[in-house]
Amino acid sequence: MSTTPPCPQCTLENTYPDGANYVCADCGFEWPAAEAAAGAGDEGRIVRDANGNVLQDGDAVVLIKDLKVKGSSTTLKQGTKVKSIRLVGDGDHEVDCKMDAGNFMLKACFLKKA
């Protein structure tokens, strides 16, 4: 596993150190190594809802459309309020939540901050 951080601009992991900077071999973006070390504990990923509001852990959100649950006959209805969300960094689903129908991972583009 590489110890160099992924590129903050294109998010690809093909980066290398060059003196006091990190360089992305794919897009050519350069950023200070000190800045990368300061943000190592924080992923630096900002998750926004359908209206562009920044989401944080513990926020309450509302579904903006009906969502069919893959592999099930369950449908999550529009207008359903979800309390106390948790942001996750891996995969393409940014929000982990618990609802009456079970635990789900949702994309932030189908949510709006309540």
d(CA 37, CA 53): 27
Whether residue 55 contacts residue 49, with contact meaning beta carbons closer than 8 Å, is answered with yes
Q: Consecutive 10-residue runs of the chain (114 residues): their mean pLDDT?
A: 73 83 86 65 72 91 94 93 88 88 91 92
Q: What confidence score (pLDDT) does residue 89 get?
A: 76
3-class state of residue 110 by DSSP = helix
CATH number 2.30.30.40 is the correct assignment for the domain at 61-113 = yes
- The architecture (CATH level 2) of 1-44 comes to Single Sheet (2.20)
* Sheet containing strand 61-63, strands side by side: 81-82, 61-63, 111-113
97: helix, coil or strand? Answer: strand
Give this prediction's pTM.
Answer: 0.59
For the chain, the structural domain boundaries read 1-44, 61-113
The predicted pLDDT at position 113 comes to: 93
Q: Is residue 70 within 8 Å of 91, Cβ to Cβ?
A: no
pLDDT at 1: 47
Residues 72, 77, 78, 82, Cα dihedral to 10°: -90
